[in-house]
Amino acid sequence: MKSSKISFRTEVNTSSFPFRLGYNTPTMFCGSCFTENIGGIMQSLKMPVMVNPNGVVYNPLSVAKVIRNILSGKEYSSADLSYRNGIWFSYDHYTRFSSESKEECLSRINESNRKAYEFVREAKFFAITFGTARVYKLVNSGEVVANCHKVPAKEFTHTLLTVDEIVAEWCGIVDEVLSVKPDAKFIFTVSPIRHWKDGAVGNQLSKSTLILAIHKLIDNFPKNVFYFPAYEIMMDDLRDYRFYDTDMLHPSTTAVEYIWQKFSAALIEPEAMRIAESVHNIQQALGHRPVNPQSESFKRFVEKTLLKIAKIENEYPFLNFEKEKRTISDYLK
């Protein structure tokens, strides 16, 4: 019998991409919670990314609306808000934008949209994560909502989008972006977080619809639209409940870190990863919580960390540690 290597895993191949992300490639991340996982890691490494300017958004139509409103520089008004139980909110936005004050709610929304508009003027990369193909619509208007804001279920209808509906909407978005940024790139992923509200079969129908739609978009825009298999890595490579959080639906911290390693190996410039490693080491030092902040040993630690920051900022002027420097400098006063 021939001896052969036995493998107890089905490792998912992340094929090479014809471009790489780094410290000179502003990238807009938009979509589900998983967008915040990967985009959040890049933010912590001081990479030029913006993550979910409307907050977490799950379905393809709502994500498309976010991008379209950013591109147009939409200014929200009180007519775009709803009021319920003493709270003003927007069906286009996550709950962190809600407020007891209408003015404060609008201020939060429009400030975020202005920042996103300015960011997208420079960005040529869009990382989009779809969470579910199921959409919820207001009964009284037919409007698709990004967030139900705990409004009673009777005020919504819900349906599963078709592949063609998703493709039609996103062909419009991609065309709009390419008309002003011909070399723009879209990196699509399907969130590995299972939407168990629809049940096991419903979740699979939803995820399958999203995957089919994305691959049709790739067929339509082969030079501009790409797919990173985050969902497949979770379902096949990490096929074990030890890689899930306690709710058995969300990926664990270890799983997110593993998928990030796959993502960075496929999509991040090697030089950027070397810089990121230095940034990560500083961030770990900054996360240190002293037993005695007044001790001489801790003050020496702070001084050493400030020197490391000065060195990396001098070497890479595009890195900004001003906020961190202010925070730890207080320990030396």
Render pLDDT for 166-205 as a digit per residue (tens, 0 to 9): 999 999 999 999 999 999 999 999 999 998 888 999 999 9
CA nearest neighbour of 47 among 303, 328, 315, 268: 268
Instruction: Categorize the per-residue pLDDT at 293 as very low, low, confident or very high, splitting at 50, 70 and 90.
Output: confident
| Mean pLDDT of the residues in the chain | 94
Instruction: Categorize the per-residue pLDDT at 2 as very low, low, confident or very high, splitting at 50, 70 and 90.
Output: low
CA–CA separation, 100 vs 68, rounded Å?
27
Q: Which CATH class is domain 27-268?
A: alpha beta
Query: Across residues 227-246, what is the average pLDDT?
Result: 94
Predicted confidence (pLDDT) at residue 3 exceeds the cutoff of 70: no
145: buried, middle or exposed (CB in 10 Å: 19+, 13-18, 0-12)? buried
pLDDT score at 4: 66
Write down the domain spans for the chain.
27-268, 282-332
pLDDT score at 1: 46
Write out the DSSP string of 218-284: HHH-TTTEEE--HHHIIIIIT-SGGGB-TTSSSBPHHHHHHHHHHHHHHHB-HHHHHHHHHHHHHHH
Predicted confidence (pLDDT) at residue 5 exceeds the cutoff of 90: no
Instruction: Categorize the per-residue pLDDT at 23 as very low, low, confident or very high, splitting at 50, 70 and 90.
Output: very high
pLDDT score at 15: 79
Predicted confidence (pLDDT) at residue 208 exceeds the cutoff of 60: yes
Three-state SS for 156? strand
Q: 51-55, 244-248, 323-327 — which one is most confidently predicted on average?
A: 51-55
Query: Across residues 205-220, what is the average pLDDT?
Result: 98
Residue 49 — φ and ψ, nearest 5°?
-125, 155
Instruction: Categorize the per-residue pLDDT at 328 as very low, low, confident or very high, splitting at 50, 70 and 90.
Output: confident
Residue 303 — φ and ψ, nearest 5°?
-60, -40
Q: Are strands 27-31 and 49-51 parallel, antiparallel or unpaired?
A: parallel
Query: Across residues 2-9, what is the average pLDDT?
Result: 68
Query: Across residues 135-159, what is the average pLDDT?
Result: 97
Q: Listing from the earlier edge strand, what are the strands of the sheet with 225-227? A: 49-51, 27-31, 125-130, 185-190, 225-227
Query: Across residues 222-237, what is the average pLDDT?
Result: 96
pTM score = 0.93
User: Are 226 and 263 contacting, i.e. CB atoms less than 8 angstroms apart?
Assistant: no
Q: DSSP letter at 13?
A: P
